[in-house]
């Protein structure tokens, strides 16, 4: 902790655990003080919010089996020649330089744009979830930070155009809830405190070029609107700790 207390124009101020100071002038926008102070606890078992969104997409894609159809044979001869495949590899973010020769069929899950952090209003604060008391670590609870909204891209590379068409069909069919009538998918992500990632398929593009055609790679980009609740693991505030009773007999 810092021992130098800088001059302040406030009647009182408080030193945070990181050595910074916050004014205590009796006005907190309707928010209560928290004891103990809520310093995030990093256990190493859980990911960050954006990686959690990527992992949720990974869980969906890794489980899919795609069915190819020889489209030319179907058109010219009326013969249905089918085959099935699964993705050879799923990357998180753009593949590393040593992965220049990308195995096909493969995809990467990435975001080309800024992810939006939608903060709660000034009067709602960062709520704690009492149903998570002691659930992930002793004497801890989850605190909501904000809502993360991202545009996810699933970029795929395929050796055959029929495979690419099969992947496109598989995506369209997969991104509707299998158990109800809702569009999009919702996935519970155990790697991020069992928060739910939500995914809506917004569009699919074939990114063909002369260079890709010469190398016999047929790319595809699928765009998703995705969101997840960002949380932090903190110590249980005093005001929601269960009371302790001493019983004398």
- Alpha carbon distances (Å) from 247 to 74, 238, 244: 80, 21, 10
CB 197 within 8 A of CB 52: yes
Return d(Cα 57, Cα 224) in angstroms, integer: 10
The pTM of this model reads 0.78
Which residue, 62, 40, 59, 43, is CA-closest to 51? 59
CB 183 within 8 A of CB 176: yes
Which residue, 144, 137, 141, is CA-closest to 242? 141
Can you read off the two tokens belonging to residue 127?
């709520």
**pLDDT per residue of the chain (249 residues) written in tens, 0 to 9:** 445 555 555 456 666 666 666 666 555 554 555 554 566 676 678 899 999 999 999 999 999 999 998 888 888 888 888 899 999 999 999 887 665 567 889 999 999 888 888 886 555 556 889 999 999 999 999 999 999 999 999 999 999 999 999 999 999 999 999 888 888 999 999 999 999 999 999 999 998 899 888 888 899 999 999 999 999 999 887 665 555 545 555
49-93+105-237 CATH pick, 3.30.2000, 2.60.120, 2.30.230, 2.40.50: 3.30.2000
């Amino acid at each position: 902790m810092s021992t130098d207390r800088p001059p302040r124009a406030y009647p009182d101020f408080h030193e945070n655990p990181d050595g910074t100071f916050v004014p205590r002038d009796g006005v907190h926008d309707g928010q209560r003080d928290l004891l103990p102070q809520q310093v995030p606890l990093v256990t190493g078992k859980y990911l960050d919010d954006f990686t959690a969104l990527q992992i949720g997409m990974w869980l969906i894609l890794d489980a899919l089996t795609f069915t190819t159809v020889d489209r030319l044979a179907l058109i010219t001869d009326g013969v249905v020649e089918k085959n099935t495949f699964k993705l050879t590899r799923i990357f998180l973010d753009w593949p590393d330089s040593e992965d220049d020769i990308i195995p096909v069929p493969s995809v990467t899950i990435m975001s080309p744009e800024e992810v939006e952090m939608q903060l709660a209003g000034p009067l709602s604060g960062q709520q704690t979830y009492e149903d998570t008391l002691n659930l992930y670590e002793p004497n801890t609870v989850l605190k909501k930070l904000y809502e993360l909204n991202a545009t996810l891209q699933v970029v795929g590379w395929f050796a055959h155009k029929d495979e690419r068409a099969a992947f496109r069909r598989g995506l369209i069919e997969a991104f509707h809830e299998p158990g109800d009538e809702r569009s999009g998918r919702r996935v519970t992500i155990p790697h991020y405190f069992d928060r739910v990632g939500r995914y809506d398929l917004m569009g699919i593009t074939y990114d063909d070029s002369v260079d890709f055609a010469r190398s016999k790679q047929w790319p595809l980009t699928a765009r998703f609107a995705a969101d997840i609740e960002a949380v932090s693991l903190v110590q249980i505030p005093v005001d929601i700790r269960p009371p302790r009773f001493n019983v004398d007999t």
